[in-house]
Structure 1
Amino acid sequence: MKVDNQDINSSPQQNNSHMKNNDLHIKKNQQNETNEDQINIPQILNNNEKNSKKQMILKITLFLFFVGIITLIIIFRSELLDEYKNFINWFIKNKIIGFILIVLIYMIGTIFFFPGLILSLGAGYSFYEAYDNKLGLALFLGSLAVFFGALLGSMLAFLIARYLLRSYIQKKAQKWKITKALDQAIDKNGLQICLLSRLSPIIPFNFFNYFCGITGLKFYQYNISSFAMIPGIILYVYFGTLISNISDVINGDFEQGTLYIVVFIIGAVLGIIVLTLIIIKAKKELNQIIKQQEKEQKEKEQLKELENEQKFEENINQIEYNQQQDLKIQLE
């Protein structure tokens, strides 16, 4: 086969020119990417500053809000106490409706992030007063009302997050670094993770209700995990009944005797110890699961990076091979 000398001489030059153009194109792309990074960095910093300012404003607003509420409570404490006494008197006469009302109050409080501790203490105090200082009955009914309220509130929060506010909750969940690992752990061991989180919450209780709604957790598993709230509920309601006795002691109206107070205090201390041990154990197991999940996720990311590097090298080799084949064809 005859090949024209001019074609032979021009082909390597054309190929070299083509390779140079490719190199220039790659360099331009790298330069453009660098310029884009330089442009985006100040923008990212600016966005972070704006977000931090918004968070600071929100924190100050919430702080002032709670300070305002506390101030109003102090100013109008006598009026509030009178109204609360009226509620107790009404509760004594309408025990069934009062029970339902406390359930509804706790349910609404759970949805709107009201501190559950305050509601539980209030329930314990109310039931103890309404049921004529009968500890066993007040503790049982008070805990039952709080549990039903917390259960209904957490169910509604879960459904709201899953079907109404999913994207909004996902953005809020990114504030906690642990949520990604927690989400992946829930996908594998949903019921176990939820039970442990109820016993030892690693993110705020009320937000956890919404967070579960954006995960792959099944609704029935979520509801079963709510039974892990019972130990804490019983203890907080028990403390609420103590408030009534303490106020009676201060006012000089306590008639049960010193032994009764001692038993109450011992019960409270034992309850705190038992609940603390449960929380520590649950937190330890939960942290182990999350650390293992984070480790597995890191290994997956490293493996993915390695695969991407291998694919990149394969593409480079393929390009070089194609160029060599093109050169051979041109030389033939």
Structure 2
Amino acid sequence: MENTADSPAKNRSATLLRWAMIVLAIVALMVLLRFLPLDQLIVSVKDWIAGLGFWGPIVLTVLYIVATVLFVPGTLLTLVAGALFGLAIGTAIVSIGSTVGAALAFLIARYAARDKVAAMAKGNRHFSAIDRAIGEGGWKVVGLLRLSPAIPFNVQNYLYGLTSIKFWPCVLTSWIAMLPGTFLYVYLGHVTGAAIGSDRQRTPLEWVMLAIGLLATVAVTVYVTRLANQKLKDQVDDLDSVDSSNDH
């Protein structure tokens, strides 16, 4: 009984510790980038993008699509988008790139490489539960999974092609549900770019406002992620209960 009672408290403590470490890592990254000699690198990248003119954001979007299909983590590209283009354009670039890339991965899994993706899915212990949950909840479960870090983003893109969900509900739900995480990393890139690539010294008030905005974005993302994890767990537990009842 004591172990059962302590379990929720331990889970909460583990979750809080994990997110505290993430926040500390973000702060450490910003501090390191502030003092490391990376100004020349940022200027070089900005000059290259500026040299592309109108094609700069388009090239970055295409790179994001290719990276998504090839299982390359897009975190660095997301940070670059925020640092070079700011919140609005940076979010648009990453949102379009990640959504189109996810859609292409879905189509590849469903029509072009189904056997290979199915073999990959067998090695994922979550896939069976996800498949059944999507069969029951459809796009709602996809939305919860996109908000949850339970399965890596690039893996989800291919796994959905094996499930019963239709293409457009999956793509539209993914686009909407991925926006909070997209905005968080673009904002981090924006703050990082402001720290190491600005042409003028920012005032303490500006740094405070940037920090408050980042922390608020992290807090909202953490809250939404926790809600999604709990809802997803409830969904899977309900399916397991039904399966147990049918077995008996």
Give the TM-score normalised by the residue count of structure 1.
Answer: 0.60
Gaps of 5+ in 2: 1-35
Verify the 8 A CA contact 1:245 1:254 in the aligned structure 2: no
Which structure is larger by alpha-carbon Rg, 1 or 2? 1
Measure the CA separation in 2 of the matches of 1:201 and 1:190: 19
Instruction: Give unpaired runs (5+ residues) of structure 1.
Output: 1-76, 128-137, 304-332
CA-to-partner distance for each residue in 1:262-318, whole Å, 9 max, x for gaps?
A: 000011111111110000001100110011112223333x25xxxxxxxxxxxxxxx
What CA deviation, in whole Å up to 9, does each residue of 1:113-149 have, x standing for no partner? 111222211111122xxxxxxxxxx200000000000
- Residue 280 of structure 1 aligns with an amino acid whose one-letter code is R
**1:96 matched to 2:54:** yes
Distance 1:152 1:87 in 2: 24
Which residue in the other structure is 1:166 paired with?
114
Within the alignment, does 1:231 sit opposite 2:180 as a pair?
A: yes
Root-mean-square deviation (Å): 2.1
Quote the Cα distance in structure 1 between the aligned partners of 2:166 and 2:111: 14
Q: Does 1:219 align with 2:167?
A: yes
Match of 2:158 in 1: 210
Match of 2:212 among 266, 274, 284: 266
Contact 1:239 / 1:268 at 8 angstroms: preserved in 2?
Answer: yes
Q: What amino acid is aligned across from residue 80 of structure 2 in structure 1?
A: G
| Correspondence 1:1-332 to 2 at 5 A | 85-127=43-85, 138-226=86-174, 227-248=176-197, 254-300=200-246, 302=247
User: Secondary structure of 1:192's match?
Assistant: helix
Residue in 2 that maps onto 1:16: none
SS at match of 2:54: helix
Distance 2:55 2:226 in 1: 38
Task: After TM superposition, give the deviation of residue 91 of structure 1 in Å.
Answer: 2.2
Q: 1:191, CA displacement in angstroms?
A: 0.5
CA distance in 2, matches of 1:268, 1:84: 21
Q: How much does 1:238 deviate?
A: 0.7
Q: Check conservation: 2:109, 2:117, Cα contact below 8 A.
A: yes
For residues 229-284 of structure 1, what are the alpha-carbon distances to aligned partners after superposition, in whole Å with 9 as ceiling and x for unaligned? 111111101100111222258xxx64221100000001111111111000000110
The whole-number CA distance in structure 2 between the counterparts of 1:257 and 1:185 is: 50
Greater RCO, CA 8 A, separation 6+: 2
Question: In the TM superposition, what is the alpha-carbon distance from 1:168 to its structure 2 partner?
Answer: 1.5
Query: Contact 2:135–2:163 (CA<8 Å) still a contact in 1?
Result: yes
Matched residue pairs, number? 212
Query: What residue in structure 1 maps to residue 24 of structure 2?
Result: none
Q: State the one-letter code of the partner of 1:140.
A: A
CA contact (8 A) 2:83 2:194 kept: no
Percent same amino acid at aligned positions? 32
Give the Cα separation in 2 of the matches to 1:264 and 1:83.
23
Q: 1:191 to 1:286 in 2, by over 3 A?
A: same
Q: Deviations over 1:179-201 (max 9, x none)?
A: 11110111121110001111113
Quote the Cα distance in structure 1 between the aligned partners of 2:164 and 2:197. 50
Does the 8 Å contact 2:147/2:178 carry over to 1? yes
What TM-score comes out, normalization by structure 2 length? 0.79
**Which piece of structure 1 moves more, 98-107 or 162-171?**
162-171
When structure 1 is superposed on structure 2, of 199-208 and 147-156 the one drifting more is 199-208
- Say which SS state the counterpart of residue 104 (structure 1) adopts: helix
Change (3 A) 1:244 1:81: closer
